[in-house]
Amino acid sequence: MTGASTGIGRAAAIGAAQHGADVAINYHSDDAGAASCVAEIKALGRLAVAIKGDVADPATATDFVTRACDALGKVDVFVNNAGICPFHAFLDMPAETLERTMRVNLHGAYYMVQAAANRMVAQGHGGSIIAVSSISALVGGEYQTHYTPTKAGVHSLMQSAAIALGRHGIRCNSVLPGTILTEINKDDLADEGKRTRMAARVPLGRLGAPEDLAGPIVFLASDLARYVTGAALLVDGGAFVNLQ
Ligand SMILES: NC(=O)C1=CN([C@@H]2O[C@H](COP(=O)(O)OP(=O)(O)OC[C@H]3O[C@@H](n4cnc5c(N)ncnc54)[C@H](O)[C@@H]3O)[C@@H](O)[C@H]2O)C=CC1
Ligand SMILES: C[C@H](O)[C@@H]1OC(=O)[C@H](O)[C@@H]1O
């Protein structure tokens, strides 16, 4: 699980442990957040290890998978979750903001998924890979012109990887969260007007919580989803279909 010291990744890591998984988490810099996630998982009676690394660095991927397997023995499930969304207008988007967003969200996903898949192929007993994409893979955002293509990209990566890895018994799917209240949008949604507008378009009547993603991710990880690959599961309270 990448980027799991906070938010959706943390909730999904703990949710997986609640369903019997031992969990290795990647995190970028929040040592305390990673340690507390590990502690919560261990309190559930499962094994857990936190491994620091910037997913934008290709070397992080093999390092993470190697150290995770050293600690836990094997990898059955890999969840690519780490991501950033520094909101910014299109016309004056700084090149470094565009490039960092691409490197973390898309290149990082590619290298991480590739490293996990290579390990699963070598192990020879299949696996499940899940990418945290977004409703933003399907719709745009004025201040997210650098971000939405990365979310469409990881969704597309799961579709192609599903084809490349199906013969190895490895399933690849994405979840597409709607607006979930986390660190990534804390500043953006501090605007009360925007927060109210975003909530108002959700048929289920509220913005999401990180824990809302845990069940769908655990489902796709599990054998309950054994014939599901190349799929994308919207987890948005119905926001996407709410045209009028
Ligand atoms: N919160 C939302 O409304 C939505 C979030 N998402 C996606 O969910 C994923 C998780 O985000 P949230 O939990 O919402 O926010 P978050 O900010 O709590 O989590 C993002 C995590 O990624 C980590 N991260 C960032 N850069 C990294 C790097 N270079 N290397 C390793 N880890 C790194 C962060 O440290 C953090 O733990 C992201 O991919 C985001 O795009 C998708 C749709 C909606
Ligand atoms: C960070 C945003 O609030 C969030 O990210 C997404 O992927 C969603 O579509 C929201 O825009």
* pLDDT one-digit tens code per residue, 73-109: 999 999 999 999 999 999 999 999 999 999 999 999 9
* 237 in contact with ligand 1, CB cutoff 6 A: no
Range 63-78 burial, b when 16+ CB lie within 10 A, else e: bbbebbbeebeebebb
Kindly report, residue by residue over 19-52, the tens digit of the pLDDT.
Answer: 999 999 999 999 999 999 999 999 999 999 999 9
Ligand 1 centroid to residue 194 C-alpha, Å? 20
- What's the whole-number average pLDDT of the chain? 98
Q: What is the pLDDT of residue 184?
A: 98
pLDDT in tens, 209-224: 999 999 999 999 999 9
Pick the CATH number of 73-241 from 3.10.20.340, 3.40.50.150, 1.10.150.120, 3.40.50.720: 3.40.50.720
- Long-range residue pairs from 167-171, CB within 8 A, at least 24 positions apart, any chain: 168/117, 168/120, 168/121, 168/126, 169/125, 169/126, 169/127, 170/117, 170/120, 170/121, 170/126, 170/127, 170/128, 170/129, 171/126, 171/127, 171/128, 171/129, 171/220, 171/225, 171/226, 171/228, 171/229
Report which protein residue has its CA nearest ligand 2's atom 8. 179
Q: Identify whether 74 is a catalytic site residue.
A: no
Interface ipTM: 0.98
C-alpha of residue 38 to centroid of ligand 2, in Å: 26
Both tokens of 209, joined, read 């919580």
- Where along the chain do its domains lie? 73-241
In this predicted structure, what is the pLDDT of residue 54?
Answer: 98
For atom 41 of ligand 1, the residue with the nearest CA is 83
Report the b/e string of 136-157 with b at 16+ CB within 10 A: bbbeebeebbbbbbbbbbbbbb
pLDDT at 42: 98
CA quadruple 172, 137, 108, 131: dihedral sign: negative
1, 2, 8, best to mutate for ligand 1 pocket (most atoms within 8 Å of CB): 8
Our answer on whether the CB atom of 7 is closer than 6 Å to any ligand 1 atom is: yes
**What is the 8-class DSSP label of residue 104?**
I
The reported pLDDT for the residue numbered 240 is: 98
Read off the pTM. 0.98
Please pick, among 5, 134, 136, 174, the residue that the annotation labels catalytic.
134
pLDDT at 151: 98
* Mean pLDDT along residues 182-194: 96
Q: Which of 13, 80, 18 is nearest to 49 (CA)?
A: 13
Report the nearest-CA residue for atom 40 of ligand 1. Answer: 83
170 bridge partner residues? 127
Dist CA 237 CA 179 (whole Å): 9
pLDDT for 195 equals 97
